[in-house]
Structure 1
Amino acid sequence: MIVTQNQISSMPLHSIQPLSPTAVLGLWHLTETPADLWAGLPNPEAYQLLLPATANATRQAQWLAGRRLIHRLLQESPSPPQARAVVQNDATGRPWLAGAAPDTVVSLSHSGAWVAAVLAQGGRVGVDVEIIRDKAQRLASKFLAPAEWADAQAATHAAPDAGSAHYTLLWSAKESLYKLAAQRGIIFRQQLLLHSFSPQESGEIPATLVLSGAETRHSICYTQPAPGYVLTYCHEPAR
């Protein structure tokens, strides 16, 4: 069941969606100023030390909203309350939760006015939200394998008006798979492979991840949180 903003009292969230008994997806429609976001952020003294010094007001708001969202998702976790948990970033920029249960995993993304996060107990997660624009289509040859590019050209030939949206979706799906893989140095057009699918407003994209000579199959969910945006995400419980 998706819990919408109208059902969430005193919280400026857009939605909270359980993905499994151990994972939850949250969306935040960003309308607040940095000052508004600081006011409701747990452990502000820790975050004041972590806020990027070069972030302008827009980036600060996105950064703070991401942390507010993750703390809200922690309330949905089956683990005991983690009042002193702090969202940090590792050397590769991936977020992790200091002070949380050891098996807590999180993925975070922001673009424009939207922030998305997936939090889970165990397993692997990846999430990405993107503003639809023509950049992905212009750079398609750099991140799409030949078969993927051929599929994309066929799809956009059938629906010319969907060109930018379709290529942005493909880029976003690879971003979510990249975050799921949690390894540096991955070549998008060789190691993150998307298979044929019928584009709809929401659905799933079958994918293959190629790491260390081994291939694994995955499924990337996608939807549109609002006009002009795409959202992709994946969660794989611990085995």
Structure 2
Amino acid sequence: MLIYTEENKGCKWGIWKMEETPELLLSQLTNKEDLIRFIDTTTSPARVLERISVRVLLKTLLGEEKTISYQSNGKPYFEDRSVNISISHTKDYVAIILSQSPLLGIDIEYTSDRVRRIRSRFISDVEYINPENETLHLLLHWSAKETMYKALSREKIDLKNNFHIKKFIPQNQGYFEAQETFTEDSLNFRIQYIVTDDYVVTYTL
């Protein structure tokens, strides 16, 4: 079920809550031969539901069906290069963003305190985490760095040492600034975000 969609500044994105069965979702698609092949070769029901939900969400956003191809590193793209795409999924949700921007990324994460246990893997000593709202702040940092990782699409990036989130105080939605130090360009990113009771989503373009 489509639960959120937004279109602005040349981008379109949305979130789908995976409540339907794979069979019901497939019935909404006409061009599904590649999905059927994927289903036949995949043993994970969760991955099957995610893949089909992505295609239905894509059709909902574009108003037409398009086949998604994947590079060797997992980055999604369209064969006709008509628009760039980034995809994310988490427990019960998938998200897609579409834009002409080459530095495009989106990430959705369900709300959980698991980020506390892996904090040392992605938070540097100079990054600020609000102790009064630690879980949410960590979750937004993690999601933002996943978003930046997808936007750069480079191997061997260190989330802790190559991505740096500038100080911000989490709100229900907004943006914050970040920078990467993996490339010679040291690109700056503006990370947009939305916080709900069930998940957070971050994106950049």
Q: CA RMSD in A?
A: 1.8
Q: Normalising by the residue count of structure 2, what TM-score does the alignment of the two structures yield?
A: 0.92
Look up the match of 1:92.
73
Secondary structure of the corresponding residue to residue 206 of structure 1 = strand
Secondary structure of the corresponding residue to residue 14 of structure 1 = strand
Question: Against the structure 1 CA distance between its residues 88 and 52, is the aligned structure 2 distance closer, same or farther, given a 3 Å change threshold?
Answer: farther
Q: CA deviation at 1:103?
A: 4.2
Unaligned runs of 5+ in 1: 1-11, 76-80
Mapped to 1, the partners of 2:94 and 2:178 lie a distance apart of: 24
Mapped to 2, the partners of 1:197 and 1:52 lie a distance apart of: 46
Q: Which has the higher mean CA deviation after the structures are superposed, 55-64 or 166-175?
A: 55-64
Q: CA deviation at 1:44?
A: 0.7
Question: Against the structure 1 CA distance between its residues 109 and 52, is the aligned structure 2 distance closer, same or farther, given a 3 Å change threshold?
Answer: farther
C-alpha distance after superposition, 1:4-46 (max 9, x if no partner):
xxxxxxxx311220131x2101111221011111111241112
Mapped to 2, the partners of 1:53 and 1:134 lie a distance apart of: 34
Amino acid across the alignment from 1:31: E
Look up the match of 2:201.
231
Look up the match of 2:186.
215
Look up the match of 1:6.
none
Secondary structure of the corresponding residue to residue 145 of structure 1 = coil
Unaligned runs of 5+ in 2: none
Look up the match of 2:12.
24
Secondary structure of the corresponding residue to residue 19 of structure 2 = coil
Look up the match of 1:177.
148
Secondary structure of the corresponding residue to residue 47 of structure 2 = helix
1:37 to 8, 17, 25: 25
C-alpha distance after superposition, 1:155-196 (max 9, x if no partner):
12xx2xx33222111100100111111111111111111110
C-alpha distance after superposition, 1:36-58 (max 9, x if no partner):
11111241112222348334323
C-alpha distance after superposition, 1:46-100 (max 9, x if no partner):
222234833432332122111211222223xxxxx6x5x31121101111123x3
The answer to whether the Cα contact below 8 Å between 1:74 and 1:119 also exists between their aligned partners in 2 is: no
Secondary structure of the corresponding residue to residue 136 of structure 2 = helix
Amino acid across the alignment from 1:164: T
Mapped to 2, the partners of 1:124 and 1:15 lie a distance apart of: 22
- Identity, in percent, stands at 26
Mapped to 1, the partners of 2:111 and 2:35 lie a distance apart of: 31
Q: Normalising by the residue count of structure 1, what TM-score does the alignment of the two structures yield?
A: 0.79
Task: Write out aligned runs for 1:114-129 (5 A).
Answer: 114-129=93-108
Look up the match of 2:158.
187
Mapped to 2, the partners of 1:197 and 1:130 lie a distance apart of: 19
Look up the match of 1:146.
125
The answer to whether the Cα contact below 8 Å between 1:70 and 1:119 also exists between their aligned partners in 2 is: no
1:58 to 27, 33, 46: 46
Mapped to 1, the partners of 2:204 and 2:151 lie a distance apart of: 7
Q: Which has the higher mean CA deviation after the structures are superposed, 199-208 or 115-124?
A: 115-124
C-alpha distance after superposition, 1:205-224 (max 9, x if no partner):
20001233331111111112
Give the number of aligned pairs: 205
